[in-house]
A = this chain, B = another copy of it.
Amino acid sequence: MNWLVILAGGRGERFWPLSRAARPKQFLRLLGPRSLLQETADRVAPLIDRAHTVVVTGEAYAALVEEQLPGSWVLAEPVGRNTAASIAWAAAAIRSRDPEALLVVLPSDHAVGDSAGFQEVLSAAMASAQRRQRMTLLGVRPTRPETGFGYIEAETATARAARADGVAVAAFVEKPSRERAEAMVASGRFYWNAGMFILPLSEVWAAFSRWLPDTLAAVSGTSEEFAWRFAALSPVSFDVGIMERATAVDMLPLDVGWDDVGSFEAVARLLMGRDPARVVWDRVHDVTVIGDEGPWIAGIGLSHLVVVRTPDAVLILPPEESQAVRALVHQLQETEEGTRLI
């Protein structure tokens, strides 16, 4: 059986004031009427139904997941220990019901422009992973020399049309320098690692047994022991702990308008051309209002800004300042009054 595993444990400080400690980015309706988490599940719904959807999240967010994805199987981590632990727990949980499962692991906070195209590639990747019994991942064809992502090096360049078959992965590259990123993009053999994995359960189980046996032991133990054993794990990402060590990994290229929605600048880019509600403008150009709740926003003679609207805080910034939001949140934490807003 096919299972969808959504990783939904992120905290999203860069999206304040829309995201709060109690409601991070993946639970927000940033791009439409459905949250990023819901859009992630919706996108895979034609391939895997809700009864086979596992969401790994923090304890604080379990109720939000149940509200947004009713009928899903929620694994609420007592504390965040990075993605290797999350995927191991999902694998152990699914293994207890379906030892022959195929796991589709996706992050919960990204955007995809072309859902049908995504389904087509994912479907091919699932068939390939099942047939070849190899851990497989989707590699996003890069559109710019981004230095903030990890890259996947394919053994051979892939044509744009070649979606049905995977190619072997030669190596993983951590966040590169600008120069190296430009060379990688130019070569045609490198892809962004967007954390989308298709994993035959037996393969990933064997990999955990070999490289992260403590993690597997923690998530497979009795429920009495679980919380403290889980908390005692060192945080390791699935990429570093498993994928970079595995020798037989396939990749399928993805070319479907993927975006990591990493900042308000990205959200503004994705919302471009949409008319926000409850806004009144006079000579306003290139200003994006993000957030449906809160006061009307009125502007006169403005350009090149992002306005983030919530009922109790309104943030104004040029889009290229989006990375500085985290520092602003830290500044708020310095006062009791400000801390209440986080």
- Interfacial residues, chain A to chain B (CB-CB below 8 A): 17, 278, 280, 282-283, 294-302, 305, 307, 309-318, 321, 324-325, 327-328, 331-332, 337-338, 341
Interface centre among A278, A295, A312, A318 (most CB of B within 10 A): A295
A331 with B300: CB separation less than 8 A = no
Q: A300 contacts which chain B residues (CB < 8 A)? A: 315-318, 321, 324-325, 328
Q: A296 contacts which chain B residues (CB < 8 A)? A: 17, 312-314, 341
Residue of B whose beta carbon sits closest to that of A296: B313
A314 with B295: CB separation less than 8 A = yes
Q: How far is the CB of A206 from chain B (nearest CB, A)?
A: 48
Q: A338 contacts which chain B residues (CB < 8 A)? A: 280
B328 with A313: CB separation less than 8 A = no
Residue of B whose beta carbon sits closest to that of A307: B316
A327 with B282: CB separation less than 8 A = yes
Q: In the complex, what distance in Å separates the CA atom of A312 from the CA atom of B312?
A: 10
B282 with A328: CB separation less than 8 A = yes
B316 with A299: CB separation less than 8 A = yes
Q: In the complex, what distance in Å separates the CA atom of A332 from the CA atom of B279?
A: 10
Q: In the complex, what distance in Å separates the CA atom of A315 from the CA atom of B296?
A: 8
Q: A280 contacts which chain B residues (CB < 8 A)? A: 328, 331-332, 338
Q: A283 contacts which chain B residues (CB < 8 A)? A: 324
18 new A-B contacts, CB < 8 A, other than A283-B324, A305-B316, are: A280-B328, A280-B332, A294-B295, A295-B311, A295-B312, A295-B314, A296-B312, A297-B314, A298-B313, A298-B328, A299-B315, A299-B316, A299-B317, A300-B317, A300-B328, A301-B321, A302-B317, A309-B314
Q: How far is the CB of A256 from chain B (nearest CB, A)?
A: 32
Q: How far is the CB of A204 from chain B (nearest CB, A)?
A: 42
Q: In the complex, what distance in Å separates the CA atom of A283 from the CA atom of B316?
A: 12
Q: In the complex, what distance in Å separates the CA atom of A295 from the CA atom of B309?
A: 9
Known: A280-B332, A282-B331, A328-B280. A17 touches B321 (CB 8 A): no
Q: In the complex, what distance in Å separates the CA atom of A338 from the CA atom of B315?
A: 22
Q: How far is the CB of A342 from chain B (nearest CB, A)?
A: 11
